[in-house]
Amino acid sequence: MHVAIPLYPRFTALDAVGPYTVLAMAPGCTVTFVAAEPGPVTDDQGALTLTATASYADVPAPDVIVVPGGPGTMAALSDEALLGWIRQAHEHTRWTTSVCTGSLILGAAGLLTGVKATTHWGLMDLLKTFGAEPVSERVVTEGKIVTAAGVSAGIDMALTLLSQADGAETAQMVQLAIEYDPQPPFACGSPKTAPEGMPERVLALMSETI
Amino acid sequence: MHVAIPLYPRFTALDAVGPYTVLAMAPGCTVTFVAAEPGPVTDDQGALTLTATASYADVPAPDVIVVPGGPGTMAALSDEALLGWIRQAHEHTRWTTSVCTGSLILGAAGLLTGVKATTHWGLMDLLKTFGAEPVSERVVTEGKIVTAAGVSAGIDMALTLLSQADGAETAQMVQLAIEYDPQPPFACGSPKTAPEGMPERVLALMSETI
C-alpha cells in the first residue's frame, strides 16, 4: 500500500506524523511526503521543517492520501496545485483521508458535497461551506472518504485504516509497537468534557494563528 | 521555556513530534531541534527527514531536553557528541526527559544510576544495564528526570510537563486544541492488554529493525 501525505506551509506536524508513524510501520506499506516541488516545508510553529521527497506529479496514483490540517489550511484552500493533485489522485485511491482541518481542503477540492465528514471541533461549521454534513465523531467514514477530528485523531484514524487494509491483527501489532495505551492527564480533549468556557478561549487563541 | 529535542539517525518520528506539537503550542514555549550539526536527519523508516536548525554547541543550556527513541538508539548509545551534550545540558535543565528508548541514551550519558525510569515495554530490562530501576508506567518522574514509555507516550509526558511548568489550565487548553481525546480502535496498546502471544511477535519484528 502506498500512502502519500501532502505538505503545505504551516501544516500542523502531528496531523501528518501521527498517521505516518502508524502506517509506515505496517509491513508492505510505504509512505511518501509530497509537495508542489520536493524540498523543505515548514510547519505552523515555524520550528519544524519536514522534507517532501517527491512532487505531486511524481505520485499521481497513491493508494491512500492523508491531508493534514493546520493554520496553513486557509491559504491551502486556494492552492490549485494541491487541490488539483487531490482531485486527480482521488480518482485512483482506495482511501482519501484527512486529519483536522485537512478535511476543509478535501472540501475545497470538491470531494465533500453531500458527504458526512469531520474536522477540528472548533471549525465544524466551515464544513458546510463545502456542502459536507458535519459529524462530531473521532473518525468518520463515508465510502472511501475518511476524515478525522483534530490533530491527534489522525493516530486513531490510521489504526482504523490499517485494520481495514491488513486486518485487525496488523493494526493491533502496530498499536502495541507504538505503545498506544493513551493516558491523557486530563479529561478535556473534547469540548464535551472540557471545563466551561475553555473551548471559547481555545478558539480565540486559535483564531490568532489562522 | 526553551525546549531542545536532539535528532539522530533512525529516531522514531512520533517520539519527537508528539511532545514537540504539545510543547510548541504553549504560550512562551519555544522548541529547537538540535543535532551535532544543523541539517537534515532521517528517521527510522527512511521516509521522513526533519531538519535540525541548531548544533548542540548552539544550545548549551535549554530549560528542557526531550530525547526521542527509535531503532537508531543502539548506535546513539556510543555517540559521544550527543551524550556529552546531554550531560552538559542536564546540569542546567529544569527537566531532562526521554520518550521510548530515549531513556537508554540518558542511561548511557550516566544520568540514570539508581533512578526510577521507563522505556518501551519491550526493552525494559536494558534500563538495568545503566543502573536504572525499571518502572512499567506511562510517565515516570524522579526529580528532574522524566521518562515516558513507548513512542506515543511522549504526548502524555509533554502534557504532564506543561501542567507542571505553566499550570493545569495551560495543559488543558493545549490538550483541547489538539483534540487529544484518544479513542484507540483496540485495547491492546500495552503488553498487559494485548492478545496472548502478540508481545513476543512484536518484539521479534522490532528486533529486525535494531
Comparing CB atoms, the residue among B51, B169, B179 nearest residue A190 is: B179
**pLDDT over 70 (residue B196):** yes
The 3-state DSSP class for residue B206 equals helix
Q: What is the pLDDT of residues A21-35, one digit of tens each?
A: 999 999 999 999 999
Q: What is the pLDDT of residues A143-176, one digit of tens each?
A: 999 999 999 999 999 999 999 999 999 999 999 9
Domain count, chain B: 1
Give a yes or no: residue B195 inside a domain: no
A43 touches A12 (CB < 8 A): yes
Q: Is A57 on the interface with B (CB under 8 A)?
A: no
The DSSP code sequence of B123-137 is: GTTHHHHTT-EE--S
Residue located via cell numbers 470538491: A110
Give a yes or no: residue B210 inside a domain: no
Instruction: Report the pLDDT value the prediction gives residue B144, as an integer from 0 to 100.
Output: 98
Instruction: Report the pLDDT value the prediction gives residue B210, as an integer from 0 to 100.
Output: 62
The Cβ-side half-sphere exposure at B181, using a 13 Å CA radius, reads 21
Q: Which chain A residue shows the shortest CA-CA distance from B187?
A: A181
**How close are the terminal C-alpha atoms of chain A, in Å?**
34
Give a yes or no: residue A33 inside a domain: yes
Q: Which chain A residue shows the shortest CA-CA distance from B120?
A: A179
Give a yes or no: residue B202 inside a domain: no
A110: CATH: 3.40.50.880
The 3-state DSSP class for residue B61 equals coil
Instruction: Report the pLDDT value the prediction gives residue A1, as an integer from 0 to 100.
Output: 96
Question: Whole-angstrom Cα distance, residue A3 to residue A165?
Answer: 12
State the average pLDDT over residues B169-176: 97
The Cβ-side half-sphere exposure at B112, using a 13 Å CA radius, reads 29
Enumerate residues 59 to 98 of chain A having a beta carbon within 8 A of any beta carbon in chain B.
Answer: none
Q: What is the pLDDT of residues B16-27, one digit of tens each?
A: 999 999 999 999
State the average pLDDT over residues B178-190: 97
| Positive/negative CA dihedral, B31, B37, B42, B48 | positive
**pLDDT over 90 (residue B208):** no
B109 touches B133 (CB < 8 A): no
A12 touches A151 (CB < 8 A): yes
Query: What does DSSP say about strands B139-142 and B145-148: parallel, antiparallel, or unpaired?
Result: antiparallel
Average pLDDT over chain B, rounded to an integer: 97
Which domain covers residue B162, as residue numbers?
A: 2-182
- Is A173 in Cβ contact with B205 (below 8 Å)? yes
B18 vs A contacts (CB less than 8 Å) = 14, 17-18
Q: State CA B117 to chain mean position distance.
A: 12
B199: which 3 cell numbers? 508481545
Model confidence, pTM: 0.97
Instruction: Report the pLDDT value the prediction gives residue A205, as an integer from 0 to 100.
Output: 86
Give a yes or no: residue A149 inside a domain: yes
Query: What does DSSP say about strands A49-52 and B139-142: parallel, antiparallel, or unpaired?
Result: unpaired
Catalytic sites of B, residue numbers:
100
ipTM of the complex: 0.96
B49: which 3 cell numbers? 527527514
Give buried/exposed letters for A60-96 (b at 16+ CB in 10 A, else e). eebbbbbbbbbbbbeebbebebbbebbeebbeebebb
**pLDDT over 70 (residue B182):** yes
Instruction: Report the pLDDT value the prediction gives residue A210, as an integer from 0 to 100.
Output: 62
Instruction: Report the pLDDT value the prediction gives residue B206, as an integer from 0 to 100.
Output: 84
Give a yes or no: residue A189 inside a domain: no
B123-127: which pairs have CB atoms within 8 A and are 24 or more residues apart?
A: B127/B103
Give a yes or no: residue B138 inside a domain: yes
Question: Whole-angstrom Cα distance, residue A92 to residue B165?
Answer: 48
Report residue B61's pLDDT band, with 50, 70 and 90 as the boundaries: very high
Instruction: Report the pLDDT value the prediction gives residue A85, as an integer from 0 to 100.
Output: 98
Q: What is the pLDDT along chain A (210 residues), one digit of tens a residue?
A: 999 999 999 999 999 999 999 999 999 999 999 999 999 999 999 999 999 999 999 999 999 999 999 999 999 999 999 999 999 999 999 999 999 999 999 999 999 999 999 999 999 999 999 999 999 999 999 999 999 999 999 999 999 999 999 999 999 999 999 999 999 999 999 999 999 999 999 999 888 776
Q: What is the pLDDT of residues B90-149, one digit of tens each?
A: 999 999 999 999 999 999 999 999 999 999 999 999 999 999 999 999 999 999 999 999
Q: Is B180 on the interface with A (CB under 8 A)?
A: yes
Q: What phi and psi, each to the nearest 5 degrees, are found at residue A52?
A: -80, 125
Give a yes or no: residue A205 inside a domain: no
**pLDDT over 90 (residue B207):** no
